[in-house]
Every structure is written in structure tokens, then in C-alpha cells.
Amino acid sequence: MRSTQPAARRVEQRGLWFEEFDLDCVYSHRPGRTLTEADNVLFTTMTMNTQSLHLDAAWSEGQPFGQRLVNSMFTLATLVGLSVAQLTEGTISANLGLEQVAFPKPVFHGDTLYAETRVLDKRLSRSRPGEGVVRFAHTGRNQHGDVVAEAARVTLVRQRPQEQG
């Protein structure tokens, strides 16, 4: 039986085109991500980081924080990852670099990471027609609102395709 209903409008999730990035906006990325012991141990061992601060609970008890720390590279990857669906899903061509990476407070097992992003600047690419360079400032906060990670990221983002206006 054929439906007599008009075709439903289809919306596919995507990031923003170059033209859509707003310099006067803070993009809040939700939901957050609770970082678990399993996440930390898996990431740490997959990346061959044998740092006892991530793997050895007994040894870490005697260190200044009194417990294992979440691997900072996992924190950084999650911080950037939290922004993807809202900002760059399907619209990014490449990551060009990370700069000004800082971890002002530690992240522990069970902490929840929330991310927000500001666009620092953007310009059309001089070498790649149809694309632009966008520089982001990513900030990660824990469940208490403490800043635990910051990074500037430079990306190459596609402009809106001509057929989409």
C-alpha cells in the first residue's frame, strides 16, 4: 500500500561548513564523557605508554595525587572528539595541527569531561579552493567546572557545496 503522506524532510547530522562558523559563539558539546578505569588502561596500553601514573594503582597511591591519573593524551583525544558531531562531522578535510596544549588540573577515573569550543579565527585557504582554515580553542572541564584541558586546533574545513546554496 502506497502512502499518501508527503515525503518527510530528511536531516542528516553534519558539522558546520566553513561559512557557518561564528567567531562570536561558544559551542557547548553535550553529552559529556565519563572517563573510566577501563578507558584509561586500554588507551594507555594501546599506545605503549608504560607510565606507572596510569597503570600502577599501588605505586600511584604514594605519589602527589594519591591515585592514578587519566592519560593526558586520552583526555586530549576525547576533548577534540566531543566537538566532532557538532562542528566537523563530514565537513573537515584535515587536521593541520595542535598548539598551546595544556592540562591545568588532573583527570581521574570517574571524572566526566565536558567540552566547549570557540572559533579563534578563520580564513579561506590560499592553496585549496573550496576550503578554509579554521582555528579552534577547545576547553575541557570536569564535572565540577574545573578546566582540565585546553588546546588550540587548526583544521581545514570545506566550504558549503555550490548545489546546497
The enclosing domain of 108 has a CATH number of 3.10.129.10
State the cell numbers at 49.
605508554
Query: Alpha-carbon distance 58 to 35, whole Å?
Result: 20
Query: Alpha-carbon distance 142 to 84, whole Å?
Result: 19
Residue 159 lies in a domain: yes
Position 3 scores a pLDDT of: 66
Q: Whole-model pTM?
A: 0.90
- pLDDT, averaged across the chain: 95
The domain tally of the chain equals 1
Residue 98 lies in a domain: yes
Express each pLDDT in 1-38 by its tens digit. 676 777 788 878 899 999 999 998 999 999 999 999 99
**Domain limits at 140?**
23-35+72-164
Express each pLDDT in 56-65 by its tens digit. 999 999 999 9
- Kindly state the average pLDDT of the residues 46-51: 96
Residue 130 lies in a domain: yes
Express each pLDDT in 82-128 by its tens digit. 999 999 999 999 999 999 999 999 999 999 999 999 999 999 999 99
